[in-house]
A and B are shown apart, each in its own frame.
Chain A
Amino acid sequence: MSVENAPVVDVDEAAIPVEKKMYYRFESNDKKEFRVSELAIQQSETLNRLVEAMGYTSEDVENKPAIAIENIDGKTLKLVFQWCEHHKGEAIPVDDGSVPKIVEIPEFDAKLMDIDNGLLFKLIWAADYLNIVQLLNVSCKKVANMAQGKTPAQLRRVYLLPSDEEDEAAKRAAQEAQDPRAREVEEEFEERKRQGGNSFF
């Protein structure tokens, strides 16, 4: 199924769901509304618990206000729900540490995440906030893949991270925060930089 055909719908785009299944209405923090199937919601532990606690009937869904998701904007939430609809009914991975984490990005997910970095980072944040394990896995993997074959300097450019000079300010701020562990880490990092340009890693 292509990303464009994923069945998540903005309310104003298609008011009546085709299937007669339980749907819920959600609203982003910029007032975009979405209808999402009950099965798709199960991919999100957070939303699943929320709708279970609410105990809505089909009539409640239509008559009561949409469930507000305060921390996520409409553009990000649309991607989230498209992902959930596409993967509805799939088993949710359990990380018990017993098997190495090997994450493959399916074609649908790859297309869905063909977006700019800012939106991708928001998608990660949303996946984490809504506790959508596999979406978090694939979106993190997508960002991790950007690091392949790069040097530290190239990675700073790819991830738009500050240069060493700019980072000095952050170092001072961390020390001022008087967090002993933070300071320890700063010193360790500095020591490794001093020791060498002296390390391959």
Chain B
Amino acid sequence: MAETSDNNPIATMENMPPEMLDEILDKLEPIEKLICKRVCRKFYRSVNRLDPGFFKIHVFTRGIWFNGLQMIRYRNRGNNCVVKYAGKEKIIENSNYMDVMISDLFTVLTNQNLHLAELRLLCADPVFAKIHELVVRNELTNLRTEHLIITTDFMYPALTTIFNALNYNNLQLNYIAEHILEPNLQQLERSLREIIDLVPAGVNFNLGIPWLDTLPIGSFLKFKRIELRITSHSNLSGRNIGNIIQTLLTSNVLEYCFLSAKYDIDDVIEFLTDEAHLQENEDVFVVEIPDKNERYTVELFENEFEITRSGN
């Protein structure tokens, strides 16, 4: 029996037809797929056609975590970048760690077959600046993730670029705590308005912020689902919370809102009954929505409330 056949053209990886190479490389672990991109052009093309296999990516100031992998850590050593993964070190000469890290991030993010469920950016401002730089330089748009979670300083201008480049259905935005002690509240309020304007109306919006006397609550009326986590040193007044509730009840689209904040429940009930003239029954207010045969139910608890919309 013949060992080989001239009629069968394939006997090496080099001659492997693209669809078969895709089949093979698709069987690799995600980290191996990424490493294979650097083997040769053929592998590079093939891996680009495949789902990278990640559904969660968390970006930190000096590292990236991809689901299924250990944390990949980056740092500078002299003029070089040192990357640590799974107990091994790789030195990338004459490179800044942040350039390498964000380049690696976008290698994955720009893959058209990526089905990302969660992108979490929990990093310092310079990382956002680098992301901004890469997005602008490469004119990146339509990067998709189901959940986008950002913890940062809202006043950082690079955020606008990031919001424009990413598509998402759920947004969780957290203002970092150390800035609460020294905020320029007016600027923070303005930045928050700008950000809310950039968030599409269909997005489920989850926001963690310090209390602002000028909280632009009216900007939230375009959302169907809102979660607000407000932090403050002292209790907010019944009027503060009552005004938020009254404003939210004017929304045409709101289906559900959860808000947590420090307040005295009795103060809020007093405001809503005496000044807003709403009817209360055991900490629950039911407000009919005019002409819609629907109602909002406001259920008050200590330090949190829920608004739900229901119909007949």
**Chain A residues within CB distance 8 Å of chain B:** 29-30, 32, 70-76, 78, 100-101, 103, 117-118, 121-122, 124-125, 128, 136-137, 140-141, 143-145, 147-148, 150-152, 155-156, 159-162, 167, 170-171, 174, 185-186, 188-189, 192-193, 195-201
Interface size range on B against A: 35 or more
Q: List 5 A-B contacts (CB under 8 A).
A: A30-B2, A124-B16, A156-B40, A167-B41, A192-B107
Contact between chains at B20 and A124 (CB < 8 Å) = yes
Nearest chain A CB to B6 CB, angstrom units: 9
List the 4 closest A-B pairs by CB distance, nearest first: A144-B27, A73-B5, A201-B34, A159-B13
In the complex, what's the smallest C-beta–C-beta distance from B115 to chain A, in angstroms? 10
Alpha-carbon distance between A160 and B15 when the two chains are bound, in angstroms: 11
A137: B residues at CB distance < 8 A: 27
Question: Do the beta carbons of B25 and A121 come within 8 Å of each other?
Answer: no
Within 8 A of A (CB), among B1-23: 1-5, 7-8, 10-17, 19-20, 23
Using A121-B16, A148-B32 as known contacts, say yes or no to A155 and B41 having CB atoms under 8 A apart: no
* Complex: A47 Cα to B118 Cα, angstroms: 44
Q: Is the CB of B14 within 8 A of A198?
A: no
Instruction: Name the A residues within 8 Å of B5 (CB-CB).
Output: 29-30, 72-73
B85 within 8 A of A: yes
In the bound complex, how far is the Cα of B45 from the Cα of A174, in angstroms?
13
Contact present for A200 and B85 (CB under 8 Å): yes
B1 touching A71, Cβ below 8 Å: no
* Chain B residues whose C-beta falls within 8 Å of the C-beta of A196 in the assembled complex: 92, 95, 99-100, 103
B104 within 8 A of A: yes
Told that A29-B7, A159-B14 touch, could you supply 9 new A-B pairs with CB distance under 8 A? A73-B1, A73-B4, A75-B2, A124-B20, A147-B32, A188-B44, A197-B93, A198-B95, A200-B100
Find chain B residues with CB under 8 A from A185 CB. Answer: 41, 44-45, 48
Kindly provide the distance from the CB of A190 to the nearest chain B CB, expressed in whole angstroms. 9
Q: Please name all residues of chain A whose beta carbon is closer than 8 Å to the beta carbon of B26 when the two chains form the complex.
A: 101, 140
Question: Does B203 interact with chain A (Cβ within 8 Å)?
Answer: no
Chain A nearest Cβ from B79, distance in angstroms: 12
- A75-B27 CB under 8 A given contacts A147-B32, A161-B39: no
Residues of B within 8 A of A74 (CB): 1-2
A198 pairs with B100, CB closer than 8 A: yes
- Taken together as a complex, chains A and B put the C-alpha atoms of A18 and B4 apart, in Å, by 31
Write out the residue numbers on chain B whose beta carbons fall within 8 Å of the beta carbon of A150.
Answer: 32, 35
Q: Are A160 and B92 in contact (CB under 8 A)?
A: no
Known A200-B92, A201-B104; contact A73-B2, beta-carbon cutoff 8 A: yes
A95 to B176 Cα, complex, angstroms? 44
Q: Does B224 count as interface, using CB distance less than 8 angstroms?
A: no
A174 vs B42: C-alpha distance when bound (angstroms): 11
Chain B residues, Cβ within 8 Å of A147? 28, 32, 35-36
What's the nearest-Cβ distance from chain B to residue A134, in Å? 12
B198 to chain A, nearest CB (A): 29
Considering the chains assembled together, what is the distance between the CA atoms of A117 and B108 in angstroms? 30
By beta carbon, the residue of chain B nearest A10 is B1
Count chain A CB atoms within 10 A of each CB in B20, B45, B92 and give the residue with the most.
B20
Closest to B47 in A: A201
CA distance A72 to B83 in the complex (A): 46
Contact B107 A198 (CB under 8 A): no
A118-B4, A118-B12 as given contacts; A152 in contact with B39, CB under 8 Å: yes
Given contacts A73-B5, A167-B40, A198-B100, contact A103 B11 (CB under 8 A): no
**How far is B48's CA from A189's CA once the two chains are assembled, in angstroms?**
11
